Structure 1
Amino acid sequence: MTAPVALLSVSPAYADTKPAAQTEQKPSLAELRKAVKEARQAYRAAVAAEQALEQELDATTDPSHPLMVAVAEAKKAADDAAAAKTAADQAVTDAQTKLDAATTDDEKTAAQAELDAAKKAADEATTKKTEADAAVKAAETARDDNRVAIARKIDKAQQDVKTALAAKEAAEKALADAKGEEPGEPGDPEEPTDPECSAVDALDTTISGLPSKIAAGSTVDFRMRLTNNTGRTLDEVMPFVAVGAVDKSYKDISSKLHLKSKQDGQWKSVPEEDYAGAFSNVKAGAHVDLPLRLTIDRSAPAGYGATLAVGVYGNEDETCGTGDLAVYEFTINPVGAGNSTTPAGKGNKPKPQGSASPVAGSGSGNGSADADGSLASTGSSSALPTIGLVGGAAVVLGAGAVYVVRRRKAEANG
């Protein structure tokens, strides 16, 4: 995934609750069940979108957030400018004192020249301090405006949750009323269950081999490992991976990054909003590895990047769940700067993500588990320079991804 994934839009799946006219044909139980399923999925997506925004807002208070970093850097520059101005002003005072004490023409001429130079330097220091103070104000304004913008999105998301909840309840009531009127139809299947999928840390996610510093124009190979600590065999495990980046001014440069995974022995581009591979029958305590390859365009400016990874699973008995969301951050260096041998860093574990229903693409593939049986430590996520860019991706990479599994299983069952 080479660009941030947008938060999923939420629309009520069963918004029309007006009683049908006598001449209109009533919806069948199958149609009402379908409406209930869609309404429930829309409600989960709305909740997931709100949770992702809440996490994004929380991230803005972390010292490592790009806007917080910008404020801190601006304040340091302002402090340095203030100290320089104080020193320059003192130099003017000292030069004036020397001029006042001069007795000969030569002494007065030299002291005057020194005073003129000191005044010029003081004027320049004053200008720099004014500019530095303005930069602090601009950085603080950008930080605050960003928080206000996210807060407004949260307010809208909360309204979407209410709307989706009302639509879900209306759809469920319509189905219940219809079933009350028609206790059962010969051959009709029972109402399909749609259990919540669990968000568990027992499906551990780690990234290895990703450098902490990558030069533009480089291609690096690394690996994602999913370790099954759920205590049971998982019928199908899917890895989700995304990358994002910003330049030093925090402009999105994710289009300069290209991610591939090795599927069926071939390198294939990781599709947007879909998983990067698939593994079957992952035994309890076993792990599976997915080879990954990241290429950064030569035209990419210096900046900051991050890789997000998570595993989701679905079983034949319709149990499903997600692992921990792992985020690894790296620095993008100019062309020719070379890559670091130090592994990419990881931060603190994020809040659990809600569920959503991403659009399925064609990213399924087969992989093979390593045979060494070793277990990896859990990866985790912090508020990264790219967290604002990949906040939407977290929804797709969160618990809602398992609904892709459910849908594909439903399609496979006809």
Structure 2
Amino acid sequence: MKIRRVLATAVAAAVTAPVVILSAGTALADAQPAAQTQAQKKPTIEELEKAAAEAKKAYDDALAAQDVAQKAFDATTAATSPLHVKAKAADKEAGAATAAKTAADKAVTDAADILAALPADAKPEDRAAAQKVLEEAAKDAEKADAAKKAADAKAKAAAKEADDADVAAAQALDKAQKATAKALSAKETADQALADAKKAAENPSCEPDPKLTTVVTGLPSKIVAGTTANFSLRVTNGTGKNIDKLWPFTYLHATDKSGYQVTDDLLHLQWSTAASGGWKDVDSLHRAGVINGLKDGTHYDMKLRLKVDAKAPAGPGIAFVAGDYVNKDKSCGGTPDLTEYSFEILPAGTKPGDVDPAKPTTGKANTPDTKTQSSATSTTPLNTTNTGTLAATGTSSATPQLALAGGAAVVVGAGAVFVARRRRSGTN
């Protein structure tokens, strides 16, 4: 039943884009539900519970690994870590070596200045002593320079070692964090799948039932614009179980003869029963009231009245009927398809003469053994005050799945298919 709704909604745009529906008509006509062409086994709740437990364990393990990586990162990058202490000591040594070289270079400069300042008549032994001091200072400067280079290299290596360790720890932490995020996503997916499965078990999806039928009688095959046509809708419950609440779905679609101008707004549909207190307009979801307590093996008849506006142009029309239900035990379902009744709108003032009733193009008539719903079993089979209250109060989450919840989209799409079919056959 869901697939029927989805396919019909998918072609809704064709009403305003007829070329699209013409090209897609054959494909739509031949389309089969995916469930019929590709069977897929759904996991059981037990299997989903197992998967959720495994995903939780994987997440817990990833979280623990991330905690280890975080602690390792904090320890590695701390100023008190062995590598950072080593790098700091090496940097201090390099600083001392730089200072020593600076002092040694100054000693060389000072010795050279003293030697140069000696007078020309200085004693040879004084000149020799100054020269020796300069040479010794130069040797010390060479040693200081070598020591500085060694200390600088040592400090650079120690700093690189500490930096490399920091980077490795950061990369390990990042990897652990990404693994945790991935595990969390998998856990959330598994938890959601389990929750959805449990919810679905509590609120089963609606299933179509071919033994629930909706049949129109007395709808003229030709209706003159500006006139009213009375007919009836019979809902028959042959499902083998009683139905608590059922919504009859009714929608009328029409176009002019070109098939491009939609004239639905010129068709006005009302319903009436003994309990309704007169004629009522179908609601915004094209529901003709609510049938309460339709017992198995019985049917219920309701009166329908179609008013065609005098401004309605001549052209083809189609009536769609269906039924969808929800029971107190949350089971739900409906007719497998929309039943279609084609009719023709004639220009205002036309004298059509004898007119045959419209014939259904889909659906089945009631079986002879069904009986009318008696007043003893349902004194008020239609309860208009409760129309739509299931969705508002949350009594059943299945209600939005019904055709009634998406009636307009459903029938507009079906109407587009109808128009395309007529065009392909050359009727208009």
TM-score in terms of structure 1 length: 0.44
TM-score in terms of structure 2 length: 0.43
More helix by share: 2
Which structure has the bigger radius of gyration? 2
